[in-house]
Amino acid sequence: KEIEGIQKRLKECFLLLEKEESEKNRRDKEEQQLGDQQDVLEEIDRNYIPQIEDLTKLCSKANQKIKKDAERIESLERTVHKQKKILELCNQFVSSYQKREQKLVNLVNGIDVYFENEMKKEKEVGCFRLSSKKSSNNSKILYYRDIVKELQELLVPEED
């Protein structure tokens, strides 16, 4: 009986010893895994954190550039809008000028035709006599014809 008791106790001791050894192996394995994980984290700290910081800086610079470009685009859009308004006003001015120019051309042509008809009438009647009334009218006609010629010269576009 004593031997059986000793054997039983030995068995219990072996079981406890196996259990402790198994527990020790499990802890060693966990410590190894923790050590491996720690090594991985240290490698990440050494290799990847600086790269992430560099990428963060690059992204920050890119965002600043994008903001500046957006501001430039907005400024250019405002400038284009102003230039369109200026162009519109210029076109209105040119149109108005062309209408006035056409009226002036029509007026000059009308004056020219009128004075040509007057000259024809006076030639038919013999207007170049030296009478003071006829002479005065004739010089007025010649004076107005000179004005008409000057106006016509002003309306002819200059060549570059």
Buried b (16+ CB within 10 A) or exposed e, 38-74: eeeeeeeeeeeeeeeeeeeeeeeeeeeeeeeeeeeee
Per-residue confidence (pLDDT) for residue 61, from 0 to 100: 97
DSSP state of 1: -
Query: Quick check: 143 pLDDT over 80?
Result: no
Name which of 24-28, 116-120, 146-150, 155-159 the model is least confident about. Answer: 155-159
Domain layout of the chain by residue ranges: 1-155
Distance from chain centroid for Cα 102 = 39
Q: pLDDT > 90: what percent of the chain?
A: 41
**Hey, which of 66-70, 119-123, 127-131, 133-137 has the most confident mean pLDDT?**
66-70
| Burial classification of residue 119, based on how many CB atoms lie within 10 Å of its CB (0-12 exposed, 13-18 middle, 19 or more buried) | middle
Per-residue confidence (pLDDT) for residue 148, from 0 to 100: 73
What is the per-residue pLDDT across 3-17, written as a single tens digit (0 to 9) for each?
Answer: 888 889 989 999 999
Sequence-distant (≥ 6) Cβ neighbours of residue 103 within 8 angstroms = none
